[in-house]
Structures are given as C-alpha cells and as structure tokens.
Amino acid sequence: MNAKIRRQGTKKKLLFLVLAATVLAGLAYYLKNHVSLEELIVKEQRLRESINDQPWRSFAIGLAIYAIVSLVPGTSGKSIIFGWLFGFWRAVPIVIIGLTLAATVNFYLSRYIFRDWIERRYEKFLSALNRHLKKEGAFYLLTLRMAHFPFSIVNLASGASRVHVRTFCWTTALGLLPGTAIFAWVGVRLPSLDRLAEDGVESLIDGALLAALAASAIFPIVFRWSTSKLGILKDTGSDGDLSEPGQ
C-alpha cells in the first residue's frame, strides 16, 4: 500500500473513532438517563431466548443485517457482537457469508459501474494486483485476505481486475475465516449483561478471552511477516489490520 493510501486509511480510522466515541457518549447519556440496567438485562435475555427459540429465523435476520452493515466501510467489531449473541458456531457462518455477500456486491459495483473511477483511484495497486494474479493466481488474493489487507480496497480493486468472481468469492470466504473465528471467540468469552452486573469488571478477567485478544493482534502480524519473507506482498504493502476486514 502506498503512502497516500496509508494516510487516507489513517484519516478514516481517526474519523471513525471520533464518530464512534460521539455515538457511544450519546448512547451512554441516553442509557444513564432513560434506561435502567435491569431493563437492558431483560431485553438481552429476551433477545437470546428469541435466537434460541427460532434459530433459522434469527440466523436469516442476523445474516441480512450483517451483510447490509458490511457494505459500509469501517464498521468494525460486528463479529464480536454476533459471537456474543449467537455463539461461536452460528456467528462464524453468519459473518463469513455476510462478508462474502457484501464483498461480492462491491465487486460487481466496481466491475460494471465504477470501474473507470477505480482504475484511476487505485492505479498502482490494481497494476500490482493484476501482475500477481497472473503470476500466483488465486493464492495471491487469498494471501491479501488472510493478511487483512483493507477489506474495501480489495473488493473494489478485484472488481476492476481480471479475477473471476468465483475465485474472488471462495478466496474471500476462506481468507477471512481465521480472523473471523478469532473475533467470534472473543465475543463468546465476553460476559452477558446479567453476569457483568453481578460480578462487575472481574467477569472480564478471563484467560480464554485474553488469549483470543492476543491472538487477534498477533495473527495478522505473524502472517504478514511470513508473507513478506516470501516477497508476496512486497509491492502492494502489508499494512492491513485485523480490524474487521469489515468484521
């Protein structure tokens, strides 16, 4: 990734953090003044009961929500929330399918509507992508996903590249699987509101949770280091992060 893309990525992250902080502050104010903790606990319990009583309906609704929200760049942390609500084995397929659907929509928009703009906007990256696709094929696209190269950029550039949509879909699903599993596991280990209210912050001191958080930070670093030694991401950059590839 060149310096210009890195700077723009940093600006977007800062803007997202400011917006997130503003939203959280507003939400905290509203909850403090208008909603009691007891009410939140009851709503959470009802939601969990609904998910368990109507698994297929809740799966479909969750998938639709995840796919739609994933169309918006920078909406990180969703997989943790879904892991917290749905559990590991239901959250992982929801996240993978939702991200793949959202990525495919962006892929087609790029290929058939915004192609000229994408070719101008990401000219250098697109040139490197086509060169590596010709040399290494699907493995290169899979590497970008597993290295957590920025989700939206890969989607848009792939649409303007020569890659086939089937290759794009399976490399997206498979490449995002390790990071998704880690994030979903983080969500699983987070305490419910009831437990948090009862045990306090001590309920967050969990060995498995801390291990999952460490893995979420270490995995992309180790993977990018490994690929850099092989020279795979040398000319496209490897500054991706584990922040939800949209996850």
Q: What is the pLDDT of residues 114-131, one digit of tens each?
A: 888 888 888 888 888 888
C-alpha triplet 227, 148, 18: angle, nearest 5°: 140
Whole-number pLDDT of residue 148 = 78
Whole-number pLDDT of residue 199 = 62
Q: Is 62 contained in some domain?
A: yes
Whole-number pLDDT of residue 173 = 95
Confidence of residue 153 (pLDDT cuts 50, 70, 90): confident
SS3 (DSSP) at 206: coil
Q: Is 14 contained in some domain?
A: no
Domains contained in the chain, number: 1
pTM over 0.85? The answer is no
Q: Is 205 contained in some domain?
A: yes
Asked if pLDDT for residue 164 goes beyond 70, the answer is: yes
**Tokens describing residue 197:** 């209210």
Confidence of residue 200 (pLDDT cuts 50, 70, 90): low
Q: What is the mean pLDDT of the chain?
A: 78
pLDDT greater at residue 15 or residue 166: 166
Kindly provide the residue ranges of all beta strands, DSSP E only, lying in 144-231, ordered along the sequence: none
Could you give the CA distance from residue 80 to residue 95 in angstroms, rounded to a whole number? 10
Q: Is 206 contained in some domain?
A: yes
Q: Is 17 contained in some domain?
A: no
- Taking phi over 0 as left and psi of -120 to 50 as alpha, with beta for the rest, 77 belongs to left
Question: By percentage, how much of the chain surpasses pLDDT 90?
Answer: 29
pLDDT greater at residue 90 or residue 18: 90
Q: How does DSSP classify residue 205?
A: -
Could you give the CA distance from residue 202 to residue 70 in angstroms, rounded to a whole number? 32
Is residue 178 a contact partner of residue 219, using CB atoms and an 8 Å limit? Answer: yes
Asked if pLDDT for residue 55 goes beyond 70, the answer is: yes
Q: Is 144 contained in some domain?
A: yes
Q: Is 224 contained in some domain?
A: yes
- Alpha carbon 59 to chain centroid, angstroms: 18
Range scoring the smallest mean pLDDT among 28-42, 80-94, 229-243: 229-243
Q: Is 239 contained in some domain?
A: no
Could you give the CA distance from residue 125 to residue 75 in angstroms, rounded to a whole number? 23
Q: Which domain holds residue 148?
A: 36-230
Q: How does DSSP classify residue 201?
A: G
pLDDT greater at residue 2 or residue 46: 46
pLDDT in tens, 70-79: 988 766 778 9
